[in-house]
Structure 1
Amino acid sequence: MLISLSWLREFVPYEGDVQNLGDRLTMLGLELEGIHDPFAEIAQVVVGHVTECARHPESDHLSVCSVDIGTGELLSIVCGAPNVAAGQKVPVAPVGSTLPGGLQIKKAKLRGVPSMGMICSERELGLSEAHEGILVLPDSCGVGRPLTEALNLERTVLDISITPNRADCLSVLGIARETALAFGLPLTMPSCAVEEGGEDAAGLLALEIADGELCPLYQARLLSGVRMGKAPDWMRYRLTAVGLRPISNIVDVTNYVMMELGHPLHAFDRDLLAGAKIRVAPAIDGMLFTTLDGQERKLLASDLLIWDGEKPVALAGVMGGLNSEIGDGTTEVALECAVFRPGTIRRTARRLALPSEASYRFERGVDQVGARLAVDRAARLMAEVSGARVLRGVVTAEPKPWTTRVHGFRLGRCNDLLGLELAPEFARETFTRMGCLVDESDAARWSVTTPPWRLDLEREVDLSEELARVYGVDRIPAVLPRVAKSLDVVGREEGEFAFNRRIKAWASGVGLREVVNYSFVGQKDLDLLCLEGGCRIAIANPLTEEQNVLRTAVAPSLLQNLKHNIAQGNARLRLFELARVYFEDQDSETRAREHTRLGILLHGPRFAEDWPWPLEDADYLDAKGLVEGLFEHLKLGRPEFAALDGHCFLEPAVAVSLEGKTLGTLGRVKADMADAHHARREVWMADLDVDLLRALHTARKVEFRPLPTFPPVRRDVTVTCPGGLAAESVRRTIQELRPQFLESVEMVDLFTPAPDKDERNLTFRLTYRHSARTLKDKEVDKEHGKMVDGLLQKLPVRL
């Protein structure tokens, strides 16, 4: 939000240092981003007086001027403007100065005549787009005076970052209120008295609102006898200083009042409104509407429109329509000042990628009570700058009047929250200066009526926060809070954040390093992995082409991390990322469907270089072990792994499932794709659905059992089996035989005795235990022998 210091001083008499003002606003929660001079590029331009003007001897369209700029020497300047004449006061850029756009003024000869500077137009000065001729200054401007002083241009503009909840500060008035609060200064409101005449506006325009929830208030003033033209210089230059482009006197007034009071307005050409009627109603699904920028847009039934008696004329709260645009021939104006539901405006502006200064304010909320002040202020200014007559009365429809909000406030509770001892006098004075009404009839619990422009004050704690920021958050002593946790929370469902934190703690504990990537990747990154293209969400205004789409998988980001680390000489990687992926979904309010995924990437040696083992590369067993470890950590049981054919970027690949639900995939990145990321070794990845993991984890019921008090008895069994027989099949068969006293079965070794034979030796360790007594070897041997016999009968294995 750009705020002109001189404009601010029209509301509040602050005469202190601008940096001090910015620092104080920052401590109030309105962070100062910077202070700049919007007209610094024309600071060297001065006022000149054209003493003589003659035709160029070698050109029909050039003039040779003698110009006095107060240095005691007349400058010879060649000018091509058709309106230059002797006796004029003009802006002159002398030799050595630089104009907006980087144009440096140097000594020159134009067709044999020396030129020692440049007489400038408004466009060359960056004041407007006008370039039909030079800018002719008022005769009152002193020769040699800097142009910025002569035109009283804004020289100090504060760039203030406004948080989304402080919509009331998106105006000069809002910042003035905060300045008055910070420094104890009076606030002066602009003059809004309107001189009315002629017919009653209510008899000339009918209003109809289809749904008061979508549009609680709609007001209109009518103006007749408008003369279109340029707005006064002071208004145009002030708008330029705060980043707005001047257009015409009527449109500039709407922008001026929006920046001044924070309420967007819109002006219609009343002659283009059919049926002497304005109706606020939703769009028809699929209809087309052309906005002021000339773009035809397809609308949804959730979009809100302003209609006349026959057709839509504006996209409510976002942009007007081309069919009711104010033009050079406009003489009758309908001035709109309305309040719309923020969520409706936000969805429309986001979906159509059509942000505007108006939508930026409407989607955060505007002052419904202050709307009358804004429409009166705009009508007064329009009458002044266009000679229009304001018709009597304001046409108003308010199906949902503003409800005054009253909150209870306990000073004792506030002090407990803040750790302070604020006095009642401080609280009373602060609330009053904020515009609140305080009822202290109950000393323990005040009733505080908040002003209609402070939409963020919704509950008692918000009032405590106001006292804290006015007192000074930096002055509140840092004290560790006393944290007490009730046993009532035991057994409650774990939230998403806590579950994700649990997974991150596990990943860090098993030696994985967390990476945090942007959600944006490039289309080519997804194409490289052959990921589906129909569900992608393209970024409307990407920062770079490498980040022009929302990712549909975590794999592209992890592979980019791999590529970057290899380039830095770090080839041994154990990475994980817990993040969201995005898919297009037209049925969603945001047009996006989000899922949380866990990605794991392994590359390089299994052990670190200083580990006293052979430097073998990580393989399938490492990745599979991590997945099994996660399931064990979450108490989900043992997952199942099944071969998966035709995966887009993994080969070989397996599907990870549990209880018949597919939870993700695991496998090796295809060689060509790994090579594209500079990997010279195998890259193993796992991609798991965290949302489904959380649902399964939440459904598990915690059961407690006593710790075993009697010692276990362990027996190992080694079987020789065909190479195609899965170890899991052997383990599952042992469990199905159900030997008495069996507590657990684990595979502890694998050995291939002869490379030329398709056989291998698998060793399993069986643990036996009795819950009530110590087992004897004889009992265990008997059960163990039965198990071995059954295993030999059921499977093609031998001892």
Structure 2
Amino acid sequence: MLLSLNWLREFVPFTGTDEELADRLTMLGLEVEEVSHPFAHLENVVVGHVLECDKHPEADKLSVCSVDVGEDEPLPIVCGAPNVAKGQKVAVAKVGAELPGGFKIKKAKLRGQVSKGMICAEDEIGLGDSHAGIMVLDEALAVGTPLVDALNLDTTVFDLGITPNRGDCLSMLGIAREVAMAYGLPLTLPECALEEVAESAADQLTIQIDDPALCPLYQGRILKGVQVGPAPAWMRYRLIAVGMRPINNIVDVTNYLLMELGHPLHAFDRAKLAGDTIRVRAAEDGTAFTTLDDEKRDLLGSDLLICDAEKPVALAGVMGGANSEVSDATTDVVLECAVFDPPTVRKTARRLALHSESSFRFERGVDQGNARFVADRAASLMAQLSGAQVLSGVAVAEPTPWENRTLRFRPARCNSLLGVDLDAEFCRTTFEGLGCSVDASNPEDWTVVAPSHRHDLEREVDLYEEAARVYGMDRIEAVLPRVSKSLDGLALADRRYAFTMQLKHWARGVGLNEAVNYSFVGHEDLDFFNLPQDNRVPVMNPLSEEQNVMRTALAPGLLQNVRTNVGHGSARLRLFEVAKVFWADAESETTATEPTRLGMLVYGRRERERWPWPEEENAAYADIKGMVEHLLQHLELPGAQYRLKDGHPYLAPCVEVVLDDEVIGEMGRIKPEIADTYNARREVWIAELDADALQEWHEGVLPGFSPLAKFPPIKRDITFIAPETLTAGAVVDAVRGVQEPLLEDVVLVDCYQPEDAETHNLTVRLTYRHADRTLKDKEVEKRHSKVVKKVLDALPVHV
């Protein structure tokens, strides 16, 4: 929010220094981020008087002028403007002035004639776009007066950082309220000298609102006989000072009122509105609409439109349509002053990347109670500047009238919460200065009615915050609070963050190193991994072509880590990353879903370098699968199934990790042609799991308890000779499936592959235990034999 101090002083008679005001506003929570001087480049530009103006003897299009600038002698200046003439008051840039674009005025000779300055046009000194001729100033201006003073330009502008809850401060009026309250100064509202003709606007314009929740108020004024042209200099220069580009007298009034009173307005060319009807309705999916910037937008049903009897004419709260804009041929204007639903405006502006000064204010809420005054002042200014006639009254639809919030305020509770002793009179003065009405007939429990412009005053504690803000947060001593914890606080914990940290602690505990990668990758990276294009989220303003899309998988980033580390001589990598990926989703509010994924990567030697030197054995499938199994065991999620998957984009082989028919991730080897591109000299094994699903499964586990065993176990090992095609898991499952009551645990302890044999030897350890007594060897041998027999009958194995 750009705040002009000259403009502010039209509302409040503040006489202090700029530094004092900046400090006070910052302590009020309206941080002054920067102080600028928008017309500082006019330091050496003054009012001059053209005493003589003769044709240049050597050039037909040049004039040689003698200009009085208030110095001892007139300045000789060569000028090429066609409208320069004797007797004019003009803007003169003296030698040494530095104009916009770095153009420095120097003493020069032009076709043999000395020139000691420049008579300026508007565009040459940053006061407009016109270059048709020089600026001709008011005859009443004193010669030699600095142009900034002569034109009453805004010399100091504050750039304020306004927090999202303070939409009321996005205007000169809003800041003026704060200054008036802080310094006890009177607040003067701008004049509204509105003259109306007998015709009624309500008889000539019909307004229809389909959904009151999306548009609680819409009012329109009608102006006839409009003459569109440039706005007066004072308005144009003021708009330039606060960062807005002047367009014409009608549009400039809407922008001026937006900055002055904080309520966006829009002017329609009435001749382009069909049926003298305004209808506020939701768009239909797929509707194409061209906005004022000549961009065609595809709309959704969540967008809000302003329509006439036949077509859309504006995107509500965001931008008008090219089919109804005011032009030089406009004679009649319909002036819109409405209130739109903030979330609806925010979603539309964000989805279309169409952020405007209007949407910025509508997103934060505008003052519905002040809307009629805004419409009246805008109409009066338009009539004054364009010669238009204003029809009497307004065409209005207000299905949801504004009701001020009524809050309670307990001074004792406020002081207790803030830890300071605020005087009751101070609180009353503060609230009334904010625009509230206060009923303190009960000194222990006040009734405070919040004004319509303070949307952020919703609860009693908001009044405490206001009292503390005005008192001065810097004056409240820092005291460590008393902290008490209870089991109820567990429900308020950030479960997602806690689970993420649990995953990271586990990963570091098993020897993995954390990788942190950018969320941005390139389309080429994703194409190289054969990832689909239909679910990608492109970046509108990428830092580079290598970062022009959001990642849809963690694998490209982890492989980039492999390339970097191998390039630095690493022969063994154990990496993990817990991060979000981004998938396009038209149903989402942000048009994208952001699931959290856990990626794990193993590469290179299986053992660390040590003495004695280990065997040269590289990591393989067993390593990555072991990590996945260990994680699931750590999260108390046993019983996972693993099944091969064909046709994976970048893994071969690929194995799905399945919990109760839900695929929670995939693991496998990066395809050699992909790994080679990333300079991997050995196989790269990777697993990518759905961290959100893991959290849901983990939180669904009900903890159980069983007493510690009091009696010793008896363990028996048995080696099954099985065909190569029979997996170790099948053997272990067969042993467990016997359902022997005393069998406590079954573990695979060894796997031996004889040379040139089509079988492998699987050694399984069985643990027997009785909960109430010590087992005898004879009893265990009998039960063990039955278990072995059932396994031999069930599987093609022998012992």
TM-score normalised over the length of structure 2: 0.91
User: 1 CA distance for matches of 2:557 and 2:405?
Assistant: 48
Match of 1:711 in 2: 712
Letter of the 1:583 partner, please give it.
W
Structure 1 contact 632–638 (Cα < 8 Å) conserved: no
Cα offsets for 1:139-193 (capped at 9, x unmatched): 3444444433332222222212222222111112222223334444433322234
- In terms of mean alpha carbon deviation, does 540-549 or 728-737 score higher? 540-549
**What are the equivalent positions in structure 2 for 1:423-502 lying under 5 Å apart?**
423-474=423-474, 475-486=476-487, 495-502=495-502
How much does 1:82 deviate?
1.9
- In terms of mean alpha carbon deviation, does 557-566 or 208-217 score higher? 557-566
**What are the equivalent positions in structure 2 for 1:13-52 lying under 5 Å apart?**
13-52=13-52
- In terms of mean alpha carbon deviation, does 87-96 or 332-341 score higher? 87-96
How much does 1:70 deviate?
4.6
SS at match of 1:370: helix
How much does 1:302 deviate?
3.3
User: 2 CA distance for matches of 1:162 and 1:647?
Assistant: 50
TM-score normalised over the length of structure 1: 0.91
Give the direction of change, closer, same or farther, for the CA distance of 1:573–1:435 in structure 2 (3 Å limit): farther
How much does 1:258 deviate?
0.4
User: 2 CA distance for matches of 1:549 and 1:471?
Assistant: 48
SS at match of 1:668: strand
Match of 2:583 in 1: 583
User: 1 CA distance for matches of 2:119 and 2:747?
Assistant: 91
SS at match of 1:363: helix
Note the aligned Cα RMSD (angstroms): 3.2
Letter of the 2:730 partner, please give it.
S
Match of 2:648 in 1: 647
SS at match of 1:38: coil
Match of 1:271 in 2: 271
SS at match of 1:737: coil
User: 2 CA distance for matches of 1:532 and 1:598?
Assistant: 20
- In terms of mean alpha carbon deviation, does 78-87 or 789-798 score higher? 789-798
User: 2 CA distance for matches of 1:471 and 1:747?
Assistant: 72
Letter of the 2:485 partner, please give it.
A
Give the direction of change, closer, same or farther, for the CA distance of 1:792–1:308 in structure 2 (3 Å limit): closer
Match of 2:629 in 1: 628
User: 2 CA distance for matches of 1:603 and 1:45?
Assistant: 70
**Can you give the 5+ residue segments of structure 2 that lack an aligned partner in the other structure?**
none
**What are the equivalent positions in structure 2 for 1:694-773 lying under 5 Å apart?**
694-719=695-720, 721-751=722-752, 754=755, 761-773=761-773
Cα offsets for 1:18-41 (capped at 9, x unmatched): 344334333433333222222234
Give the direction of change, closer, same or farther, for the CA distance of 1:310–1:599 in structure 2 (3 Å limit): same
How much does 1:238 deviate?
1.2
Cα offsets for 1:698-720 (capped at 9, x unmatched): 43322222222223333444455
User: 2 CA distance for matches of 1:749 and 1:228?
Assistant: 92
Give the direction of change, closer, same or farther, for the CA distance of 1:738–1:323 in structure 2 (3 Å limit): closer
SS at match of 2:25: helix
Give the direction of change, closer, same or farther, for the CA distance of 1:737–1:328 in structure 2 (3 Å limit): same
User: 1 CA distance for matches of 2:164 and 2:493?
Assistant: 31
**What are the equivalent positions in structure 2 for 1:120-159 lying under 5 Å apart?**
120-159=120-159
How much does 1:641 deviate?
2.1
SS at match of 2:595: strand
User: 2 CA distance for matches of 1:627 and 1:329?
Assistant: 72
User: 1 CA distance for matches of 2:707 and 2:721?
Assistant: 37
Letter of the 2:399 partner, please give it.
P
How much does 1:341 deviate?
1.4
SS at match of 2:236: helix
Letter of the 1:629 partner, please give it.
H
How much does 1:338 deviate?
0.6
Structure 1 contact 607–613 (Cα < 8 Å) conserved: no
**What are the equivalent positions in structure 2 for 1:370-389 lying under 5 Å apart?**
370-389=370-389
Structure 1 contact 620–684 (Cα < 8 Å) conserved: yes
Letter of the 2:521 partner, please give it.
V
**What are the equivalent positions in structure 2 for 1:483-522 lying under 5 Å apart?**
483-486=484-487, 495-522=495-522
How much does 1:60 deviate?
3.4
Give the direction of change, closer, same or farther, for the CA distance of 1:779–1:469 in structure 2 (3 Å limit): farther
SS at match of 2:275: helix
Structure 1 contact 597–687 (Cα < 8 Å) conserved: yes
Letter of the 1:390 partner, please give it.
V
Structure 1 contact 353–540 (Cα < 8 Å) conserved: no
Structure 1 contact 739–786 (Cα < 8 Å) conserved: no
**What are the equivalent positions in structure 2 for 1:306-317 lying under 5 Å apart?**
306-317=306-317
How much does 1:358 deviate?
0.9
SS at match of 1:684: strand
User: 1 CA distance for matches of 2:684 and 2:243?
Assistant: 51
Equivalenced residue count is 797
User: 2 CA distance for matches of 1:711 and 1:667?
Assistant: 41
How much does 1:452 deviate?
1.0
Match of 1:663 in 2: 664
Letter of the 1:451 partner, please give it.
P
How much does 1:512 deviate?
3.8
User: 2 CA distance for matches of 1:511 and 1:795?
Assistant: 38
User: 1 CA distance for matches of 2:610 and 2:188?
Assistant: 74
Matched-pair identity in %: 58
**What are the equivalent positions in structure 2 for 1:539-688 lying under 5 Å apart?**
539-563=539-563, 573-603=573-603, 614=614, 618-688=619-689
User: 2 CA distance for matches of 1:425 and 1:510?
Assistant: 64
Cα offsets for 1:474-498 (capped at 9, x unmatched): 43424144232136968x9994444
How much does 1:367 deviate?
0.8
Letter of the 2:667 partner, please give it.
L
